[in-house]
Chains A and B, each alone.
Chain A
Amino acid sequence: DVKVTQSSRYLVKRTGEKVFLECVQDMDHENMFWYRQDPGLGLRLIYFSYDVKMKEKGDIPEGYSVSREKKERFSLILESASTNQTSMYLCASSLSAGGLKTQYFGPGTRLLVL
C-alpha cells in the first residue's frame, strides 16, 4: 500500500510567520504535488515536482515555495503566512511510468493563520 504522510494534521500560525509543511511518501514515486482545498473551489495545485531538486509552479504558486532535496520528501513553505492562506493542504504522489496516473494523497494539514 502506498503511504503518504504529512508532518502535522493541524497547525495554528500567526500572520507573518514562516511555515513549513512536510510530506513523505514511501513508494519511490517520482512525482509529488501540493494542493490546497477550499470550499467550493475543489483542489487547486500549488506546486509539483517530477524529480529531486526539480519543481514547477502549479495554478496558484503565489506566496508559496517548495523544496525537494530527497526523492521521498517534498516540503511546502509559506514564506510569510497570511490569513488568506488558511486552508486544508494536501500532498500527493504518483509514478511517472506507463499509464499509471493515479495520485495518492496524504491525510492533509489544516492550517489556520491568525
Chain B
Amino acid sequence: DQQVKQNSPSLSVQEGRISILNCDYTNSMFDYFLWYKKYPAEGPTFLISISSIKDKNEDGRFTVFLNKSAKHLSLHIVPSQPGDSAVYFCAATGLGGATNKLIFGTGTLLAVQP
C-alpha cells in the first residue's frame, strides 16, 4: 500500500514559468516531509524539507507547501530553469524510532523546455 503518492509521472513546463509538483500521503503520523531531486545516473540530492508544524518553507526558487488536513504537499519552483529538469521524489517520515526511515513516492519527471 503506497503511503506516499506522486500521481503525476511527468510534467513539462516552459523555462521561466512555475513548476508545481504534487504529493499526497495517507498516514497522519507523518510529521516531516522532504523533497529530493535526482539526475540520471546520480544519487538523489536533498532539496527542501518541511515540518508538520509549518505550512510553508521557502529556499530561494523553491517553496514547499503543506496542507495537513488534505494530507497534501506541493513543491513550487519559480522561475523554472532547464537545469531543474530531473526526477523529483517526495518523502515522509515520523513513524517513530531513531532511524527516521523515509517513505518515498514514485517520483515525477520534470522537463523544463528552453
Contact = CB atoms under 8 A, between A and B. Distances in A.
A75 interface: no
Interface stretch (B45-53, B62-70, B74-82): B45-53
A94 B101 CA distance: 10
B34 A90 contact: no
B100 A45 contact: no
Given A99-B51, A101-B34, A90 B44 contact: yes
Interface stretch (A64-72, A79-87, A102-110): A102-110
A96 interface: yes
Contacts of A110: 41
A18 to B, nearest CB: 24
A104 B107 contact: no
A74 to B, nearest CB: 13
A31 B41 CA distance: 24
A106 B102 CA distance: 16
B100 A94 contact: yes
Nearest to A58: B101
For A44, A101, A103, the residue with the greatest tally of chain B CB atoms inside 10 Å of its CB is A101
For B36, B45, B51, B98, the residue with the greatest tally of chain A CB atoms inside 10 Å of its CB is B98
B104 A101 contact: no
A4 B43 contact: yes
A34 B69 CA distance: 32
Contact of B106 (A33, A42, A48): A42
Contacts of A40: 9, 106
A12 interface: no
B9 A31 contact: no
Interface of A: 4, 9, 30-31, 33, 35, 40-45, 48, 50, 56, 58, 90, 92, 94, 96, 99, 101-108, 110
Interface of B: 6, 9, 32, 34, 36, 41-46, 49, 51, 89, 93, 97-102, 104-107
Which 3 A-B pairs give the minimum distances between C-beta atoms? A105-B43, A42-B106, A101-B100
